[in-house]
């Protein structure tokens, strides 16, 4: 089991997509700016998300990515799994053979833990997150910041 920046970035980016899904495809450059994630790194992550058919892409100007399903049926567990951060907490990856080919002393504990985490994360969809008030607040703040920044850029140009 591991959950690092990679998995967190993937979920953050997917949530950003869900939040801006009404305005056509979202470019990685936009997500990069809003969420402060390196563009090149996002490209790597989205290659994996695309392979797992969680997003689809539109190339060229005005293009970007969009969710390949409705946000109601994309679950957090899938996203984390897609970028290779397994939710499995066992050493044997479920095989039950990590102590001389046999089940080790703590296998059942890790197995139960994995089940617990999996149930939790596969019970939460992107739509669920979009609807949460605490997350709505953060999204609103980020959008306001983005608009303010945009206006400043325009002011500098003129």
Partner DNA sequence: TATATATCCGACTATTTTACTCAGATATTA
Partner DNA sequence: TAATATCTGAGTAAAATAGTCGGATATATA
Q: Which residues contact 6 (CB under 8 A, 6 or more apart)?
A: 45, 83, 84, 85
User: Which residues between 22 and 51 bind DNA (CB under 7 A)?
Assistant: 27-29, 37-41, 43-44, 46-47, 50
The whole-angstrom separation of Cα 45 and Cα 72 is 21
Element (H, E) at 8: helix 5-19
First to last CA, the chain: 52
DSSP 73: G
> Where on the chain is the footprint of ligand FES (CB under 6 A)?
90-92, 96-99, 103-104, 107, 110
Give the interface size with DNA as a residue count (CB under 7 A): 29
- Nearer to ligand FES by Cβ, of 38 and 56: the residue is 38
Q: Are 92 and 54 in contact (CB under 8 A)?
A: no
- Nearer to its own copies by Cβ, of 12 and 57: the residue is 12
Q: Coil, helix or strand for 37? A: coil
Q: Does 58 bind DNA (CB under 7 A)?
A: yes
Nearest distance in Å: CB 114, ligand FES: 10
User: Of 16-24, 52-60, 70-78, 130-138, which segment contacts DNA by CB under 7 A?
Assistant: 52-60
Q: Coil, helix or strand for 58? A: strand
Residues interacting with DNA, by CB under 7 A? 2, 4-6, 9, 27-29, 37-41, 43-44, 46-47, 50, 57-65, 84-85
């Amino acid at each position: 089991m591991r959950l690092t920046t990679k998995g967190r970035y993937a979920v953050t980016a997917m949530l950003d997509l869900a939040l801006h899904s009404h305005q056509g495809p979202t470019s990685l450059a936009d997500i990069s700016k809003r969420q402060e994630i390196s563009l090149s790194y996002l490209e790597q992550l989205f290659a994996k998300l695309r392979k797992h058919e969680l997003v689809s892409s539109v190339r060229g100007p005005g293009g970007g990515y969009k969710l390949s399903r409705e946000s109601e049926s994309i679950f957090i567990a899938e996203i984390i799994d897609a970028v290779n951060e397994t939710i499995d907490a066992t050493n044997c990856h479920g095989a039950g053979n990590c102590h001389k080919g046999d089940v080790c002393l703590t296998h059942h504990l890790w197995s139960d833990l994995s089940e617990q985490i999996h149930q939790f994360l596969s019970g939460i969809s992107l739509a669920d997150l979009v609807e949460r008030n605490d997350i709505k607040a953060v999204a609103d703040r980020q959008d306001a910041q983005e608009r303010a920044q945009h206006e400043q850029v325009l002011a500098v140009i003129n």
